Chains A and B, each alone.
Chain A
């Protein structure tokens, strides 16, 4: 499916794009980008996974990002039958207790990758079966990949 066709199809699922903050962007040199309100993330993801025309069955990358004011996650999806690629982005302005819905029931690979995001960015995922740190120890304080993280002892500050 081409990017335009994908864009039309996804647009059809959400009749009121402003209400769910649905936005498309093809500015990036590579893939079609979709950003969505965190509340609607699961709705969109279920559609993308379960609709035969899209059939995004392969989540090949899940990246946590600290955008400064907002924290967010970028999902790279590919369909192994149609071979098209889509990037879904979701952000949350809450830096104190950021939470997003888990997609680990749709793609099992998200189980570890969401734990990684929690470990480094502190985003909790609702409904995740085992929400704890992946690489760092349980008693580690702070989330090292956040831009405002600092560690006076171990970090060389430029």
Chain B
């Protein structure tokens, strides 16, 4: 079947190759069918579904508390923010107001998650374009954040720290001092990222003017997060639809106009500085008091439809719940940033070289479970 579809647009000088599922840039399980002429890409067709886990079907059969534990498996590098999305949707539907302390802690952990995710992205990006050192530097900084997470909630990757009504536990007594130590450390190390990669001439030559995405195309393809903002499209959910404690802090939305691979890179690097500043504004003023409010053991949402969007490290994650008033959702849809960002890959890759594709794809920051359903 696959071969037949490819062959319809097949000229004698063109051939097609499979990229992935083992290529490091595809992070495991994404296969790209490339139609190429020499080294020039004519068409990219992603083949998804290698780790299809039917997460939406599972959500329909589980209670709202149980769903939280599934969502962090979606985008496992932004797991806390994924949890938060479902918690916020459920809390809004129930009309539950959670304590200020929980809101502030959620926001701090969310921004730490964003930095951790960007550190990993930066390390892997370097590796994708052939510089292994970045991998170790990125992981060194990410490790500190993971240690903070581990101390506070016992998990390093799949957090499950939020639950409808607030937080699972209170923060660890060391939390504030360790976060502050991390901020000091990371402020001194972030310039290293620029020295290693941003200012590297080879890297710049490989990324500037490559994989250009216009603002109109970004909106049409539903691009979000750093991918959309690199094209000048103001799409930061934290600005337009603030949630948790994000209306209490000031931060800049990073916008670039070039829309190329390098701009997408720059947005994430500058975003890390902004995240640091958000954490700094909150860390000294965590309100005292409760960290959760009691909710029913069996949560039943009122009848209706509830939509909640949050800004994960990759962009806009939407949770759409259709409830018929029972203890599990009638339908739950995840609008993930990954799928929309992947759908524009063909648009930005056509006409470029295979080597460029690796770099552009790395700046889309794909996480495969986030693309799958």
Q: Give the contacting residue for B304; candidates A28, A59, A134, A136; CB below 8 A.
A: A28
B347 proximity list for chain A (CB < 8 A): 108
Query: Which 5 pairs between the two chains have the least Cβ-Cβ distance?
Result: A109-B222, A135-B49, A112-B343, A61-B335, A63-B333
Is B307 an interface residue when CB atoms closer than 8 A count as contact? Answer: yes
Tell whether, in the assembled complex, residue A76 and residue B320 are in contact, meaning their CB atoms are under 8 Å apart. Answer: yes
Q: Is the CB of B373 within 8 A of A120?
A: yes
Is B267's CB within 8 Å of the partner chain A? no
Instruction: For B222, give its contact among A60, A65, A87 (CB under 8 Å).
Output: A60
A97 contacts partner chain B, Cβ-Cβ < 8 Å: no
Are A108 and B221 neighbours in the complex by a CB distance under 8 Å?
yes
Interface membership of A107, Cβ < 8 A: yes
The answer to whether the Cβ of A3 comes within 8 Å of any Cβ in the partner chain is no
Interface residues of B in 313-357 (CB under 8 A from A): 316, 318, 320, 322, 331, 333, 335, 339-340, 342-344, 347
For the complex with contacts A30-B307, A60-B222, A112-B343, 4 further pairs of A-B residues with Cβ separation under 8 Å are A30-B305, A80-B233, A107-B220, A136-B49
12 contacts across the A-B interface (CB closer than 8 A):
A28-B305, A29-B93, A30-B305, A58-B219, A61-B335, A63-B333, A108-B221, A109-B220, A109-B340, A112-B340, A134-B48, A136-B52
With a cutoff of 8 Å between Cβ atoms, the chain B residues found around residue A63 in the complex are 320, 331, 333
Choose from A31, A65, A80 the contact partner of B322 (Cβ within 8 Å): A65
Q: How far is B373's CA from A28's CA once the two chains are assembled, in angstroms? A: 26
Chain A, residue nearest B335 (CB): A61
A87: chain B residues at CB < 8 Å are 305
CB pair A107–B222 under 8 Å, yes or no, is yes
Q: Which of A100-146 contact B (CB under 8 A)?
A: 107-109, 111-113, 116, 120, 132, 134-138, 144-145
How many interface residues does B have (CB within 8 Å)?
Answer: 41
Q: How far is the CA of A93 from the CA of B335 in the complex (A)?
A: 25
Q: Is B75 an interface residue (CB 8 A)?
A: no
Is residue B56 contacting chain A, with contact meaning CB distance below 8 A? yes
Give the A interface residue count (CB, 8 A).
Answer: 35
Q: Are A29 and B304 in contact (CB under 8 A)?
A: yes
- Residues of A at the B interface (CB closer than 8 Å) are 27-31, 57-61, 63, 65-66, 74, 76, 80, 83, 87, 107-109, 111-113, 116, 120, 132, 134-138, 144-145, 158
Q: How far is the CB of B252 from chain A (nearest CB, A)?
A: 19
Chain B residues lying within 8 Å of A61, measured Cβ to Cβ, are 307, 318, 320, 333, 335
A112, A137, A138, A144: which has the most chain B beta carbons within 10 Å? A112
Q: Decide yes or no: A108 and B49 within 8 Å by CB, A60-B222, A61-B320 being known contacts.
A: no
Query: With a CB–CB cut-off of 8 A, which chain A residues contact B370?
Result: none
- Chain A residues with Cβ under 8 A from B293's Cβ? none
A84 to chain B, nearest CB (A): 12
